[in-house]
Chain A
Amino acid sequence: KAGVTQTPRYLIKTRGQQVTLSCSPISGHRSVSWYQQTPGQGLQFLFEYFSETQRNKGNFPGRFSGRQFSNSRSEMNVSTLELGDSALYLCASSFEDRDEQYFGPGTRLTVT
């Protein structure tokens, strides 16, 4: 079974731009969660989707949004990028929303 895939793996953007990151979960998994990891704040929960519905959202500004498609693939979008958005963005999938999670390799975003 293929693991969780994330694209792109690396991304460089300029302040003020927007970015879309993609996550393909393990086949059959219906829950996708997104996390941000920075050296200063560590890992922080962004949001969780289950069967196309956002179940939960972390404490992030409205510039961070996401969605899940009917095939469980998920995208997250960050608009009006700030330098502080530079981070490793990880997604994780699970069969149900409270099951063990399987993490993707992450997308490393650098904002200049």
Chain B
Amino acid sequence: KNEVEQSPQNLTAQEGEFITINCSYSVGISALHWLQQHPGGGIVSLFMLSSGKKKHGRLIATINIQEKHSSLHITASHPRDSAVYICAVRLNNNDMRFGAGTRLTVKP
């Protein structure tokens, strides 16, 4: 079993919809990252979380340390949000582990 599980694998939404991507992990971590990867490969770090909730524009990320679960929410989705979203965890020994990614397509 992968140490970091993401769901769903693929997600198609209509413009304006509220989107949730989930990440569960089974190891002890010092931080969790949400990454966005556009076609062509470039990766942007969206959030780094160790507790609670963070918001940046239309994006919200939450983490529940006790339940080992994090969610990434996108409000009022837009076609430019179409990308692969990757959950990554930094282990206590500083290693990084990655989820398989969620491919999001937002249709106009």
Contact = CB atoms under 8 A, between A and B. Distances in A.
Interface string B28-50: 00110101000001111100100
Given A88-B41, A105-B41, A98 B31 contact: yes
A25 to B, nearest CB: 14
> Which of the four size classes fits the interface of chain B?
20 to 34
Given A56-B95, A100-B48, A106 B42 contact: yes
Chain B binding surface, main DSSP class: strand
Contacts of A108: 41
A102 B86 contact: no
Contacts of B86: 43
Interface residues of A, number: 24
Contact of B43 (A42, A56, A99, A103): A103
B88 A103 contact: no
Interface of B: 30-31, 33, 35, 41-45, 48, 86, 88, 90, 93-101
A97 interface: yes
Given A42-B101, A43-B86, A98-B30, A48 B43 contact: no
A98 B41 CA distance: 23
B96 A45 contact: yes
Most buried by A among B31, B41, B90, B99: B41
Nearest to A48: B94
Contacts of A88: 41
